[in-house]
Amino acid sequence: MARVATILRVRANVANWLSLVVAGALSAQGQEQVAAPLDLAATIAAFAQPFVDEGYAGSVVVGVIDGDARCVRGFGRVGDAAPTGRTRYEIGSVTKVFTSLLLADAVVRGVVALDDPVQGLLPDGATLPQFEDQPIRLWHLATHTSGLPRLPDMKGSAARDPYAHFDDERLFAALGTARVRRAPGDKYVYSNLGVGLLGRALAHKQGAASYDALLRERVLAPLGLLATGCELSADAPPRTVDGDAEQPWRLASLAGAGGLRSDVDDLLTFLQAQWASPESLRPAIELALQKRHDGQGGIAIGLGWHIAKDGFTRWHSGGTGGYRSMVLVVREKRRAVVVLANTTSEFVDQVGERLVQRLFGLPAEPPKFERAVAVPAEQLAALCGDYRMPMVGELRITRDERGLLAQLTGQPRLRLHARSPSEFCYRAVDAWIGFEVAEGGAATALVLHQHGQRIRCERQTDAGK
């Protein structure tokens, strides 16, 4: 029951697991199901247009490579025009794939070895914690098996730009207080701190002015990715899935964890390089793609790349305060998908996964987006109050001029969208709430539904009518 506090949390820069992707489309012998050629433009529109039409994003750009065919389509508006393949977004944790390629490149050139302790790449005075005298090695950071926590100590962070103050001084101070809770290399536990540290350590080792400068020299320039970088601005304005304005994120010394901005054209070129790379990067790309760790629950990972359960698809998702991204590549069949949007909705991940499935002839359908219905203000007011969630805290229901909001103790407020006068769904997370309403219209309890759980919360007080 205590895990409910995590269920409703909006997660940024945290990977979401793909259960299959193209499993079944490729057999054990690598044979593909026979399928009629797709109209790529029409298929992309079927998956992406409803995402904008139903208000889940202000804009979405989708790019697909299918063999020799390449198609990019944009939906919604950025300023006065539709977005294109050259519209730049924050790509969040997709940055981690680039950071891990930097590691692979340094290994190929003999600058470092995967088994090198990370401590040896840090500036004087910076100390990395250990677990029972077992050092954290470079490959542990790239595979999320370091034992470091997901985040550094976030005390003093601004809610709308949480990593901006993590300069070198703050980052290395945070390392001094971090705890390694398990043997490095043992268990996969996603860590922004770990990959951000990897980017900073690689830059220091090679005498680069910054992570961005090193990445531009070693990866971006050789691939011709001129619209990608940490110092570039996004074109699409950041916004939540509920349409609220957000602000850009600056990751400072943790840029390697999620600081890049890019566009669909550049990202398609990057994915295409996974099977058609320039000679200078080919060995590093091959090294990064190799499976490095098999974790619990079938989770597998290379250097940065997550590996879907089909064993073929490499992927990564990303999210910041106002953007969501998804990249997938099946190099054996020269297929790739990119989805970028200015939204915090994890439906972006589903759009990408299902488009890959369609490329392989599977009957994947576009995600279903619920359309909100209007509920009179007096009925909304009767639902507002504090509801006790056992062993977790309170779920406070309030309202503003746009409708109801829900806030679990210690977490941000999330907007609710009405299915009916007594049922409301989230858009930020896959969950919904049903209110138990007494005669006269006042709510006496609510039931939270998510991931098969049904949690009843009794009403305690009125709030924010």
* Per-residue pLDDT reduced to its tens digit, 98-149: 999 999 999 999 999 999 999 999 999 999 999 998 999 999 999 999 999 9
What secondary structure letter does DSSP report for 460? E
What pLDDT score does 38 carry?
84
**119/31: higher pLDDT:** 119
Q: 306-307 and 300-301 as β-strands: parallel, antiparallel, unpaired?
A: antiparallel
Give helix then strand counts, H and E, for the chain: 12, 18
Q: Does the pLDDT value for residue 370 go beyond 70?
A: yes
User: Which has more pLDDT, 6 or 173?
Assistant: 173
Helices (H), 178-277: 192-205, 211-215, 221-223, 264-272
Q: Which of 88-102, 153-167, 175-189 shows the highest mean pLDDT?
A: 88-102
Q: Is the pLDDT of residue 465 over 80?
A: no
Average pLDDT over residues 76-104: 98
Q: Give the 3-state secondary structure of residue 410.
A: coil
Calculate what percentage of the chain has a pLDDT beyond 90.
Answer: 74
Q: Judge contact between 295 and 186, C-beta under 8 A.
A: no
Please, which pLDDT band fits residue 430 given cuts at 50, 70 and 90? Answer: confident
3-state class of 62 per DSSP? strand
Residue 6 CA neighbour count, 13 Å, CB half: 5
- Cβ contacts of residue 202 below 8 Å, gap of 6+? 99, 102, 103, 106, 112, 121, 208, 211, 214, 256
pLDDT-based confidence at residue 242 (cuts at 50, 70, 90): confident
Note the pLDDT of residue 298: 64
Instruction: Set out the domains of the chain in order of their start, with CATH numbers.
Output: 4-359 (3.40.710.10), 377-461 (2.40.128)
Reported as a pLDDT band with limits 50, 70 and 90, residue 14 is very low
Report how far residue 285's alpha carbon sits from residue 298's, in angstroms, rounded to the nearest whole number: 23
How many C-beta atoms surround the C-beta of residue 213 within 10 A?
Answer: 15
pLDDT at 27 (0 to 100): 41
The predicted pLDDT at position 410 comes to 73
- Tens digits of residue pLDDT in 393-429: 899 999 999 999 999 887 778 899 999 999 999 987 7
CB 214, CB 202: distance < 8 Å: yes
Nearest-angstrom CA–CA distance, 136 and 358: 41
pLDDT band at 371 (very low <50, low <70, confident <90, very high): confident
pLDDT category, 5, cuts 50, 70, 90? very low
**d(C-alpha 238, C-alpha 323), whole Å:** 6
User: Which residue(s) pair with 13 in the sheet?
Assistant: none
Of 164, 137, 60, 452, give the one whose Cα is nearest residue 303: 137
Residue with tokens 């190799």: 290
Flag whether pLDDT at 83 surpasses 60. Answer: yes
Residue 113: which residues within 8 A CB-CB, separation 6 or more? 107, 138
For the full predicted model, state whether its pTM sits above 0.85.
yes
Give the mean pLDDT of the chain. Answer: 89
Tens digits of residue pLDDT in 355-367: 999 999 998 998 8
Size of the chain, expressed as the number of residues it contains = 465
**Predicted pLDDT at 21:** 57
Contact 201, 99 (CB under 8 A): no
Within 10 A of 421 (CB to CB), how many other CB atoms are there?
17
State pLDDT tens for residues 176-222.
889 998 999 999 999 999 999 999 999 999 999 999 999 999 999 99
What SS3 class is residue 337? strand
The one-letter amino acid at 361: G
Would you place residue 6 in the very low, low, confident or very high pLDDT band (cuts 50, 70, 90)?
very low
- Which H or E run includes 456? strand 453-461
